[in-house]
């Protein structure tokens, strides 16, 4: 990976970790489905005008948006709304072992023994982390966050072929165009009158929604898909995944006032050790291409 690509990839965890954490207070006034729907509508409104319709790819984009955006974000952020952000930002690291599992079954990429060991260690860390007192009685939130990580990993396996054929920002725009209205419609069904939420939301919540849609989404995923297009996945993952925990934890502690427990730090450390074993691993030739 070139220095330029490395620097571009480094932007992803900074914006993503910060945005993941600050979304939590906004969900007190804008439910997860609605907040994520606004996020994707905003990014599509920002970018869609600059790119031609990707004819011949629309069905594939819709299917990928359903998995990688609509289903994944509704599950993950519903989980985030039920648990502390400091715990959630560590639990989402399970996306890496899930990615290895999906790559094996879908891309026939056989993991080496070190990767299998890393998967085992990561899930031991999850077990320890879930014993944290601040997660007591929050099984649903923990489960949804972990399931969302698995769906994210599946989504990236599906996105990678498209990232090689479509401009990264165009891909962000069209994925958002398909998923945003669906999520807002789901919010209207499950959460109630959408207009009431719009009227009652504070200025701070709207600023968070604007940040997620107009700033974070185009920068993080535009950069991610660009780097993913030009480099093997195993080179991109270390930079992206290793930067999210410190960024997210610092944001949770200093912006939300959360106090992570010793179980969270111990479990999170073990999860990260497992992830390191997976991503800092020289793959076999043609793996993760």
Q: What is the mean pLDDT of residues 141-167?
A: 88
Q: Please name which of 96, 148, 97, 150 lies closest in space to residue 119, comparing C-alpha atoms.
A: 97
pLDDT confidence of residue 37: 96
Is the predicted pLDDT of residue 103 greater than 80, yes or no? Answer: no
pLDDT confidence of residue 230: 75
Total-model pTM: 0.86
- Which of the four pLDDT bands, split at 50, 70 and 90, describes residue 107? low
pLDDT confidence of residue 281: 62
Is the predicted pLDDT of residue 242 greater than 60, yes or no? Answer: yes
Residues with Cβ < 8 Å from 199, sequence gap 6 or more? Answer: none
Q: Please name which of 143, 111, 135, 129 lies closest in space to residue 233, comparing C-alpha atoms.
A: 111
Q: Please name which of 219, 234, 236 lies closest in space to residue 6, comparing C-alpha atoms.
A: 236
pLDDT confidence of residue 190: 93
- Which of the four pLDDT bands, split at 50, 70 and 90, describes residue 145? very high
Average per-residue pLDDT in the chain? Answer: 86
């Amino acid at each position: 990976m070139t220095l330029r690509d490395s620097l571009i990839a480094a932007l992803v965890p900074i914006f993503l970790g910060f945005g993941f954490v600050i979304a939590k207070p906004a969900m007190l006034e804008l439910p997860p489905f609605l907040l994520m729907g606004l996020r994707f509508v905003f990014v599509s409104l920002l970018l869609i005008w600059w790119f031609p319709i990707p004819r011949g790819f629309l069905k594939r984009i819709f299917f990928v948006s359903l998995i990688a955006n609509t289903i994944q974000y509704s599950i993950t952020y519903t989980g985030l709304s039920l648990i502390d952000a400091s715990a959630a930002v560590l639990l989402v690291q399970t996306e890496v072992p899930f990615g290895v599992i999906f790559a094996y079954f879908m891309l026939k990429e056989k993991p080496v023994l070190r990767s299998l060991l890393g998967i085992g260690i990561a899930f031991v860390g999850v077990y320890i982390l879930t014993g944290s007192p601040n997660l007591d009685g929050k099984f649903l939130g923990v489960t949804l966050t972990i399931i969302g990580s698995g769906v994210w990993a599946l989504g990236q396996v599906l996105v990678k072929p498209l990232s090689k054929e479509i401009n990264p920002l165009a891909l962000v725009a069209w994925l958002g165009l398909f998923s945003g209205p669906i999520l807002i419609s789901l919010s209207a069904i499950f959460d109630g009158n959408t207009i009431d939420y719009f009227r009652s939301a504070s200025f701070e919540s709207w600023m968070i929604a604007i940040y997620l849609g107009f700033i974070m989404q185009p920068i993080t995923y535009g950069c991610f898909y660009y780097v993913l297009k030009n480099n093997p996945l195993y080179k991109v993952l270390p930079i992206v995944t290793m930067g999210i925990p410190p960024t997210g934890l610092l944001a949770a502690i200093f912006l939300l006032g959360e106090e992570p427990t010793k179980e969270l730090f111990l479990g999170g450390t073990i999860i990260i050790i497992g992830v390191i074993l997976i991503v800092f691993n020289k793959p076999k030739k043609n793996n993760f291409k």
